Each structure stands twice: as C-alpha cells, then as structure tokens.
Amino acid sequence: MKRSEKAGRIAVLLEELYPEVPIPLDHSDPYTLLVAVMLSAQTTDKKVNEVTPALFAEAGSPGAMVALGQQRVLEIIRPIGLSPTKSKNLVALSQDLVEVHEGQVPASFEALEALPGVGHKTASVVMAQAFGVPAFPVDTHIHRLAARWGLSSGRNVVQTERDLKALFDRSLWNRLHLQIIFFGREHCPARGHDLASCAICGWAATKKRMCQEARR
C-alpha cells in the first residue's frame, strides 16, 4: 500500500475513533497553554495538570509570573521533571512577553521560538491550539507511530514532521496530531503491543517493524 493511501485510511479511522479531540493540558488562554506545554517536556500531561492549578492561581499572566519569581515558581512545579530549568525559563519568557510583546503571547513561530525555553514543538502546539494555525507538533507518540506505520523513516522528529505534513492535508494537521497521541496512549503502546491485533498496526505496520517488535 502506498504511503498516501495508508495515510488516508489512518486519518479516516482516527476521525471515527476521536471525533472530539480535547487538548490534554488544562489551560484557559494562550499564555497558560504556553506555560503548560513548556512544563510538559519530559513529563506527563497528568503531572503537569496536577501542578498548574496552584501555579496559575498565583501567576496566570506574564506580569504575575515575573512578580512571583523563580524560587516560588520552582517550589510549585518541583514535582515535575527539570523543574529548576523550567522555573528559570518560565520567568525569563514571561519577562520577555512583558517587555517585548506587551504581555501577550505572539502568534508567530519566529517570535515564539525566540522566547527562552520555547522550542519548535512547543511553538507548534501553541500556534495550532491557541491560534488555529495549521501545525503538526511531533511528540514521542507521534514519532514512534509514524515509524511503526511506515509513514516516516523515523530518524528524527524534524523528518517525521516533514513527512507527515507531506502526507496529510493541511486542514487535518491540528486535529490529527492530537488523535495520533490519543491512539498511541490508549491503543498502541511502545512495548508489549500485539501489532497484529491493533486496529491500525494490523495492516499499516511495515514488515520490518513487525520483525523488530517481535524481537523485543
């Protein structure tokens, strides 16, 4: 089956499974989404959602985050991974938002990626979910499933993003990246997965991937 045909079939199946795709990270506006996405690096969305209510109660805006200070931010977010670096970046990016962007989250990839601690994936999530700009953020679930399904060589997330954007219509990107994440979490784990019985892997996984998974 050609990649394009496979991609089309996957998109239809995921739309049937996930007609509604809520954003996993709790937030109320572009700023709180930006903060939540930054905090989610190398930790779970569940853990982020456990600490952000207390953080946003004290600092729900860039100005309030700067006023709160790095030490207090660190105390609140300490349960999540990389908290010292994240607390430093949160205060620094909030300072930039106040000084450069009048306290507003900019709606451009270039401006977002210029903020301290904001990489392409974080910027892509914010652009897609806060501003409705087509983007295809690639996390670990998407990266491994794109490789497992033969949609990308999977050498790195940059290539995976490029391959997926080429395969799927631009109008699908913002929903599809969330649908793939949900499918990966609920039906398609990294290990101990029976590919043959999977609703997608059963027909989409490459023979090479089947052999690799079987040897694990």
pLDDT tens for the chain, residues 1 to 216: 889 999 999 999 999 999 999 999 999 999 999 999 999 998 999 999 999 999 999 999 999 999 999 999 999 999 998 999 999 999 999 999 999 999 999 999 999 999 999 999 999 999 999 999 999 999 988 999 999 999 998 789 999 999 999 999 999 999 999 999 999 999 998 888 888 899 999 999 876 555 455 555
Total-model pTM: 0.90
Catalytic residue among 121, 163, 169, 194: 121
CATH T-level fold of 3-20+137-214 = Endonuclease Iii, domain 2 (1.10.1670)
121 flagged as catalytic: yes
**AA letter at 30:** P
pLDDT of residue 203: 93
pLDDT of residue 30: 98
pLDDT of residue 2: 87
Domain edges within the chain = 3-20+137-214, 30-131
pLDDT of residue 132: 96
pLDDT of residue 196: 87
pLDDT of residue 155: 83
End-to-end CA distance of the chain: 26
Superfamily of domain 30-131 in CATH is Hypothetical protein; domain 2 (1.10.340.30)
3-class SS at 55?
Answer: helix
Say whether 30-131 and 3-20+137-214 share the same fold: no
Q: How many CA atoms lie within 13 A of 167 on its CB side?
A: 24
Catalytic residue among 26, 139, 165, 169: 139
Q: What is the dihedral of CA 108, 120, 157, 185, to 10 degrees?
A: -90
Sign (positive/negative) of CA torsion 25, 28, 29, 32?
negative
pLDDT of residue 135: 97
